[in-house]
Structures are given as C-alpha cells and as structure tokens.
Structure 1
Amino acid sequence: MNPDDLNQVEHEQISTSLEVERLEVNLFRSKSLWVPLNARGVFGGQVISQAVVSATHSVPPVYSLHSLHCYFLAKASPATPIVYQVDHVRNGNSYVTRAVRAVQNGHNIFIMVCSFHKPEPWQPSLQWRMPEVPPPDQCEDEVDLFTRLIKDPKTPQRNLKLLEDILDQRKRSPIDVRLAKDHDISEGGVVRYMYWMKARNIPKYEAPFQKGILAYISDLRFIATPSRILGLKGRTGPNSLGMSSTIDHVIWFYDHDFDTGDWLLYEMESPRIGSGRAVVHGRIYTRDGRLIAVVSQEGVLRTNIRAPEELKQETKPMAKL
C-alpha cells in the first residue's frame, strides 16, 4: 500500500486539525494529518499550528504567544504521526522561549522557535491602515467560484477533473476563503492579493487556541502569491510552475483578542523573486481594521526552465585544508 493512501481528508472542524495528544510533559503527537491537492507533503499550516498548540501547553497562561520562526526541513508523510518535542529554552519575567522539533520516523522534519510575552497594552500603538476592499458578503465564496467554473461551458474539458477535485477539497475545508482583490497594483507598483478568511462553525475559543488557528490560516494561499504574480500556469512548458515549497515561515502576533470565526482580511505581496526562491509578506486584519498579525515566508519557486548545460557539469571537489 502506498503510505500516502493513509492521508486523511481535511477536517471540517479546525479544532480536529490542530489536536495533539500529550504523551509526556513536553512530548506531543499529532492525531490527524492532511496533504492538500497536488502538494508534496502534509499541509505546512497544520504542522505549524500543531507545534503552536504543543508549545502553548508548556507555558503559564499569563504569557501570550507573540512570535514564531520556523523552518520546514523535509516533507511530512500523512502515514506516520508527527511527534513534537518541546524544549524550554528560556523562562524570563516578561518573555519565555520555547523550541519545538517535529520528528517523523526518527528524522527532524520541522523546527520552530517561539516566544511568549506578558502583554503590555498600556504601551504606544501604531499600525498600517487596512486596505479598502469589498466586504465579505460582496465577495464570492471559493465553493461558489469553482461550482460556477465547472458549470461554465467555456471551461476546457481537460480542466474539469482538477476543478472538481478542488471543489471537493474546498467543501471539506474548515476555512472559508473569499477573494477580496485579485492582482491589485498599488500606486507604487506593488502587486497584492487579498482574501477574506475565517474558520467555519467554531465557538469563540480562548486566545491561545485562536493563535493556533491563525497559524493554520497564515499558510493558506501564501506560497502561491509569487507564482501568481509571475503568471505561471500549469505544470508543463517554460512558463509553468515546476516546484513550489515553503522553506521558512514567520508570524508576529500583535493582538491577543480576536476571533478567527469572524472574517479576517489577509493581504499578500512578494517583494523579491529570484534564484529559485521567493519571499512573501502578509498582513492579517480583523474586519474592523485591526492589524493582528504580520507574516513572512520564503519558499522554493522553480519554473520548468532548464539550467544551462555548462552549469550541469560536475565541478571538481575543492581541496581540503
């Protein structure tokens, strides 16, 4: 049997996707893993969020997660549970630090360092203003979008199976997504994509779990931003996407009272693409305009353009000192 056949569908309840089993004081294990359509491995947002939940269990409730920095070291298979090992790096008065290693089949597949902080709401505050976009009720739900495309007689027959698979995945997803602005170009020439997102049918969870859900949401549509800006389409031909995969992911949380069950605006842009890599920056706002999180990510981005022949030649090993 192909191990990937054991992959579970994306759960309709986000709480199930984030759930981990506590094995020991600082040792946790995933209960479910999901591989998105055409992805190389388990959804990165799920790994991040499960690591966040694991780390949060090791911190006194007076501290609130304010940042995380993580690296994806290898793709994760859905066939084997991921074990999260939490290390107490530092316990300070205002800040505490945790490191989380995600291990599968004896190999490190992911590492995260996260910091927790006693909030200081009396300190000065400043933020960028939320972009002007249509409200969520005026934006098309992705389920409706793909249903419309499937029914459209102009849609090529060869695309129908893929669209049907995407539609099925979107129906199962615990996250509702609506495109707010597509390929928006600012006065300075910055190309941006903006989405309304929210977790479906959830109660008002406490702040620590809300941040786990936000970590899950933060990886949705993010790595696709550079390829969309470049106009890469399909999987064959020189202008097609050859490979796209996350290298690292960073989130800074600047609010501790938000509801992922209500609409959040996710603004995405890519300031630099080159050498087979791309950087993406994002900002997540509440519906009323509060900037609650800033996100950055670097990923592998390769087209199907072949390297020049002279670069394929094996180089002689350098002499050792």
Structure 2
Amino acid sequence: MTDGSSDMKQSRRTDLTSLLDLEVLDVDFFRSTHARLPRGVIGVYGGQVVAQAIVAATHTLDRAFHIHSLHCYFVSIGLPATPIYYHVDRIRDGRSYSARAVRAAQNGKMFFIMLCSYQKPEPWQPTYRSPMPNVPAPEECDTFQAYFRRRAEEETDAWTKHHYTGKAEFHDGIPIEVRRAAGGFQDGFYVLCMWVRAVYVPECDAAYQKAVLGYISDLLFLEAGGYAIGLRESNEEGADVTGYCTTVDHSIWYYSDDFDCTQWIMFESRVPQAGSGRAIVHRRAFTRDGTLIANLSQEGVVRAKVYGPGEPSKVESKL
C-alpha cells in the first residue's frame, strides 16, 4: 500500500490550508474565502461548514477558553460556488464557560446554525476514558481508495462499477487519508472503524486542531446508518438500494486539548437505530495510543429507493 503520489499530496496540501480560512468583515461577521465540492457531494461538504463555524466562534473568545462541545443543524444544502457568511452571537461570557451561536447564510438565507460552548480547561480534575476497540493498525489496513477500486473491479454492472470508481476518486481528492479497519455487526450494533489523518496541517494550536477535527468528523459518518439497514449502491429501485443520504444534525464533545490531526485518529462509529427515513450514528475518536479525545453523534436522512403510498417514483428527494 502507498500513501499516494507527491503531486496528490501537494494538491491536498493547498486545499487544507485554505479550506478553513475566513475573511473578517466586521465585529462577529465573517466570510468564507474558499469552498470546495468534492466529487459525489451534492452541496458544500458539511465538515467544512462545521470547521469554519468553529473558527468564526473561536475568533470571538479569549484564547484561555477552549471549545468543548458543539451542536449543529443543517437546515438546507450549502452552495459551493456562493460565499458563506458567518455571524456569531455572543450568548454568554462567564468565568469558566462561555457560549456562542453561529449562523451561516448564503444569498441572505440561513442554511446552517451551530450552538457551541467553551470552557477554561480544568486538567487537575479526575479523568475517566473508555478504552479504544481492538482494531488492526493503520499500516495493516487498506485505504478507502483501494477498497472502492477493488469493489469496482469485482462488479459486472457498468453503473455500479462507475459508482465505486467515483468513490475512489472522491478519496483521491480530499485532504484526508482514510483506511478501513473493520465493519460489521457487534453486540447488536452496526460498527464501522476507520483510521483517519489530515494529509497536511501546519503546526498549530489546540483551537485550530479542534477545527480540523470538525472538518474530518463528517467523513463517512452517516453512511454507517445505510450499512446498518443493508442498503447497497445501485441505479435500480428497492428497499435495499440507497436513495438519499444527508446530515440533519451533528454534535461533537471534545475531551482533549492535546492531539494532532496529522497523526492517525481512529473513528469508531456505532449505529443503534435506523428507521422512518432517518438514522442516528454515535462515534468515538481515539488517538493512536488509545486516548479518547472526542465523542460525536450525527442524525440524518437515510432513505432507500422505496416510495410511500401515492408517492411517485423517481421524484426529487426533499427534506
């Protein structure tokens, strides 16, 4: 296995250093300077919006405060070719905790909102962390590019072959390396484990690392819900075929101020329930040495290509 060509790494490097940049327009008012639409993504990648919102909120606080939790709603899909405007509301400034609300808008319409909380760290307090699951080391795991290209080679259907090739090309073009460690049912949950790392991030402080983790946190998150109910990729219709998948809400709880997203991070995703066109996925993020650094949850629309009474087939999916 290889990590990819130097040309591809250079391309990813350029992307990652610009994807979180914001232009300061006024007090508590910011504008995105770059939006990217990876192959296969309908709108702006949700992780980029989350990360930029973190950057905007953090800009309004004393550096002694570190973000410890965020809760987001994606009201509609963001447009990649249109600037995103972020407005920060200073909800509360306290001695130990502070709160912010961030609204993202395009063309005068809000499409994303985030409520986040900041804390002055208390490292002297006692600590408990659940252990990391036992999974193969990243060097022993296939990249998702290799995994999807192997799936494409195994397929005989032209549409499905093209689909998996496109997924491999998506991973070629993002500033994140992903390796598949495990996937399947365990103790009544569907569990997906994968190693992730940012291909390039300049040396930076904890606040920026948390924004980078917000960026990579949206990757292959909700898809686990589709795997749990046995959805497959096809241009056919049926209750076992993926029809539509998009995030509605996204939450992160940070429990570390000392991690580096250019080093391997293990994401363990668990799906406790899916139904009614929705799925919820809980995720834990560990450093390679087994330290739990964050807990995450995401719920969203996960629909099969099956239609309700009186609903015509092949209609445009709507939230």
Q: Show the counterpart of 1:244.
A: 245
Q: Show the counterpart of 1:23.
A: 25
Q: Show the counterpart of 1:316.
A: none
Q: Does 1:66 align with 2:68?
A: yes
What is the deviation of 1:160? 3.7
Q: Show the counterpart of 1:131.
A: 133
What is the deviation of 1:132? 0.1
Q: Show the counterpart of 2:179.
A: 178
For residues 172-321 of structure 1, the aligned pairs below 5 Å read 172-183=173-184, 185-186=185-186, 188-233=187-232, 234-238=234-238, 239-309=240-310
Q: Which runs of 5+ in 1 are unaligned?
A: 1-8, 311-321
For residues 31-70 of structure 1, the aligned pairs below 5 Å read 31-70=33-72
Note closer, same or farther for the CA distance 1:214–1:153 as it changes in structure 2 (3 Å cut).
closer
Deviates more, 1:17-26 or 1:100-109: 17-26
Residues 102-153 of structure 1: per-residue CA shift (max 9 Å, x gap):
0100101000011110000111111111000000111111233344455x36
What is the deviation of 1:300? 1.1
Matched-pair contact (CA < 8 Å) for 1:27–1:85:
yes
Q: Does the residue aligned with 2:142 lie in a helix, a strand or coil? A: coil
Deviates more, 1:231-240 or 1:292-301: 231-240
Matched-pair contact (CA < 8 Å) for 1:130–1:290:
yes
Note closer, same or farther for the CA distance 1:77–1:11 as it changes in structure 2 (3 Å cut).
farther
Rg: which structure is higher? 1
Equivalent-residue separation in structure 1 for 2:149 and 2:301 (angstroms): 31
Give the partner amino acid of 2:230.
G
Q: Show the counterpart of 1:98.
A: 100
Q: Show the counterpart of 1:117.
A: 119
Q: Does the residue aligned with 1:179 lie in a helix, a strand or coil? A: strand
Q: Show the counterpart of 2:7.
A: none
Note closer, same or farther for the CA distance 1:79–1:309 as it changes in structure 2 (3 Å cut).
same
Matched-pair contact (CA < 8 Å) for 1:11–1:17:
no
Equivalent-residue separation in structure 1 for 2:151 and 2:223 (angstroms): 20
Give the partner amino acid of 1:290.
T
Equivalent-residue separation in structure 1 for 2:149 and 2:189 (angstroms): 31
Residues 217-250 of structure 1: per-residue CA shift (max 9 Å, x gap):
1100001011011111124321211211111100
Q: Work out the percentage of aligned pairs sharing the same amino acid.
A: 42
Give the partner amino acid of 1:171.
D
Matched-pair contact (CA < 8 Å) for 1:130–1:291:
yes
Equivalent-residue separation in structure 1 for 2:241 and 2:159 (angstroms): 17
Equivalent-residue separation in structure 1 for 2:161 and 2:124 (angstroms): 54
Matched-pair contact (CA < 8 Å) for 2:13–2:199:
no
What is the deviation of 1:22? 1.1
Matched-pair contact (CA < 8 Å) for 1:204–1:261:
no
What is the deviation of 1:10? 7.5
Equivalent-residue separation in structure 2 for 1:235 and 1:16 (angstroms): 35
- Count of aligned residue pairs for this structure pair: 299
Q: Show the counterpart of 1:313.
A: none
Equivalent-residue separation in structure 2 for 1:308 and 1:118 (angstroms): 53
Equivalent-residue separation in structure 1 for 2:148 and 2:71 (angstroms): 34
Equivalent-residue separation in structure 1 for 2:270 and 2:151 (angstroms): 26
Query: RMSD of the alignment, in Å?
Result: 1.9
Q: Which runs of 5+ in 2 are unaligned?
A: 1-10, 312-319
Give the partner amino acid of 2:215.
Y
Equivalent-residue separation in structure 1 for 2:230 and 2:38 (angstroms): 22
Note closer, same or farther for the CA distance 1:147–1:39 as it changes in structure 2 (3 Å cut).
closer
Equivalent-residue separation in structure 2 for 1:147 and 1:191 (angstroms): 23
TM-score normalized by structure 1?
0.88
Matched-pair contact (CA < 8 Å) for 1:140–1:179:
yes
